[in-house]
Structure 1
Amino acid sequence: MYPPMHFQEHNSERLQALVEQFPLASILTPCLQSDLNNICQVPVLYEPSRNVFIAHVAKNNPLTQCDKRSVKLHFNGDNCYLSPSYSNNKTLPSWLYCSLEVLAKVEIVECNNQKHHIMQRLTSHFEESFEPKWQLNKIPIQSRERLYQQLCFINFKPIHWSGNFKLSQNKPEDTRMEIKKSLVNANKHSIAEMI
């Protein structure tokens, strides 16, 4: 089984935290011309209260043709090279990473109130660290409606979450703590926090 059991992450809080910190999803969609998938890069926001990911894309994005179909959302968290020196040569050279795949069903949003909700939630969330903040409600309603006509609004209803956190879980606790300390000393704080 891949990933091995000790690298599988099932803790929903850790999986949701990964999405919160790294919201840009690589979304794999079916491709009619080949056995391969199309890939779209789309920032998404997870709403736990409704168990849904929300997003908007340009009208010509292939996702707009996937209504009622399943797609995979892939999230990559922080990652780095693991040198054997980080554990006093108790490990082989490797790579530390956190990733998440979510199988989800696409629901194209047609309701104007839902479109406004999605745009409001996304902009409020992603504008949090900006000053001054861009405010959707300051745009006249007619201008907003023209804006919405250029976009497709999507709900992604998750079917299955699959976390793959390769953080030396198969190593003894003292080795993991050595790795964590070395990562902190190398200013790799976000990956160190995950260990």
Structure 2
Amino acid sequence: MYLPEHFAEERPEQLHALMRAYPLAALITQTEEGLDANHIPLELVVEQGKNGVLQGHIARANPLVQQVVDGMPVLVIFQGPQGYISPNWYPSKHETHRQVPTWNYQVVHAHGRLRLRDDARFVRGLVARLTREHEGQVAAQRPWKMTDSSPDYISQMLAAIVGIEIDIDRLVGKFKLSQNKDTGDIAGAVGALAAGGQGVLAEAMREHDS
């Protein structure tokens, strides 16, 4: 990934926060058929391994199950808020006419080693944790839990998936948030984004400019 110094984000707490806020990641693998990508919600467990681990599950019918070689290198991409930036939002554009469009975004690349966890206890615990985490964020009333369905049905569903775990070797963060612009231009872009419904990206830019 092309990474100018002023866009590099190296603080672990910032990288972890994005990975948790945007858990649907692209898992990139090299297979005999070529590069492949699977989109999987992943749980970050910082307490395990040297740099933390990522845990998730895939369908047992997914060809990746047969392609995994224990410890194979993988790239996992977490995509945060992103959006188009118009040069018209920069006050300096109207003075000098020396600005061009760009795109702001936040991404984290996790480089690591993949292994399958075809273990019923692991998979059940993972699904229970993911359910608690995400139901707590969206449920307006009583959150759904695994015991809402019959044990036989849940066992059938769990048998159809396989756990995966990725030992993280390193994290690379790129937070491209107009750090190369002056304060007035950043403020102009932040205001336009917020007015256009892009409040999350606007807030990220505001925080990095403070």
2:131 to 109, 114, 123: 123
Q: Distance in 2 between matches of 1:62 and 1:161?
A: 27
Shift of 1:74: 0.9
Q: Distance in 2 between matches of 1:149 and 1:182?
A: 49
**Alpha carbons of 1:62 and 1:163: their partners in 2 closer, same or farther (altered >3 Å)?**
farther
2:87 to 80, 84, 98: 84
Extract unaligned runs of 5+ from structure 1.
Answer: none
CA contact (8 A) 1:81 1:95 kept: yes
Shift of 1:138: 4.2
Aligned to 1:184: 194
Letter matched to residue 84 of structure 2? Y
| SS of equivalent residue, structure 2 residue 172 | strand
Aligned to 1:148: 158
Aligned to 1:19: 19
Extract unaligned runs of 5+ from structure 2.
Answer: 206-210
- Coordinate RMSD, CA, aligned: 2.0
Task: Count residues with an aligned counterpart.
Answer: 193
Q: Return 8-17 or 107-116, whichever deviates more.
A: 107-116
CA contact (8 A) 2:90 2:184 kept: no
CA contact (8 A) 1:46 1:54 kept: yes
Q: Distance in 1 between matches of 2:40 and 2:118?
A: 19
Shift of 1:57: 0.8
Letter matched to residue 42 of structure 2? V
Q: Which has the higher helix share?
A: 2
Shift of 1:85: 1.5
* 1:2 equivalenced with 2:2 (yes/no): yes
TM-score (normalizing by structure 2): 0.83
2:145 to 132, 135, 138: 135
Identity of aligned residues (%): 25
